[in-house]
């Protein structure tokens, strides 16, 4: 399958979460010509996926295309994966999905800068 050749076909894509859905999305974006970063909060899972070039747990028969990069707890903003608008969208999604209100003072890199920081923030706010 060849990738389309247009101005958006090579835009980088970030997929947060390496479950079955996130893995499938990452594979499809890469097949379509997008440099793709797939994140998991588990360093062990990422190490296994790097070694095997697939997500054996969820999609063992779907190898990662070469354009899929695998990451665990990298900083989204430092890498330029999420810009300021994406950061606002991330905060809005957290509020909607988890039913928590996020105060303006809580919108920091310490709470939203990486998958681990985000998970810890949501768990604290939900009391889990």
The predicted-structure confidence for 1-37, as pLDDT tens digits, reads as follows 555 565 666 788 889 889 999 999 999 999 999 999 9
Q: What is the pLDDT of residues 79-124, one digit of tens each?
A: 777 778 888 899 999 999 999 999 999 998 889 888 888 889 999 9
Is the distance from CB of 96 to CB of 85 less than 8 angstroms?
Answer: no
Q: By residue range, what is the domain housing residue 60?
A: 13-72
The pair of structure tokens assigned to 49 is: 């996926």
Check residue 70 and report its DSSP letter: E
pLDDT given for residue 49 in this prediction:
97
- Tell me how many domains the chain contains: 2
pLDDT tens-digit series, residues 36-70: 999 998 889 999 999 999 999 999 999 999 999 99
33: left (phi over 0), alpha (psi -120 to 50) or beta: left
Residue 38: helix, strand or coil by DSSP?
Answer: strand
**Rounded CA separation 110/23 (Å):** 26
pLDDT at 95: 96
Q: 64 and 30 share a domain?
A: yes
Lookup: tokens for 54:
């697939």
| Beta-sheet strands, E only, within 17-67 | 36-39
For residues 92 and 64, membership in a common domain is answered with no
Q: Are residues 19 and 60 in the same domain?
A: yes
d(CA 28, CA 48) in angstroms, rounded, equals 20
Residues 17 and 63 in one domain: yes
Q: Are residues 27 and 47 in the same domain?
A: yes
Structural domain includes residue 21 = yes
């Amino acid at each position: 399958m060849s990738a389309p050749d247009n101005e958006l076909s090579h835009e980088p894509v970030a997929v947060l979460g390496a479950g079955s859905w996130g893995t499938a999305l990452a594979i499809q974006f890469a097949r379509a010509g997008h440099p793709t970063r797939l994140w998991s909060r588990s360093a062990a899972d990422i190490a296994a996926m790097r070694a095997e070039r697939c997500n054996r747990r969820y999609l063992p028969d779907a190898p990662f295309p070469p354009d899929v990069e695998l990451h665990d707890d990298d900083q989204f903003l430092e890498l330029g994966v999420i810009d300021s608008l994406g950061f606002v969208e991330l905060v809005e999604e957290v509020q909607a999905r988890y039913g928590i209100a996020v105060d303006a003072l809580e919108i920091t890199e310490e709470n939203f800068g990486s998958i681990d920081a985000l998970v810890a923030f949501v768990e604290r706010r939900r009391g889990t």
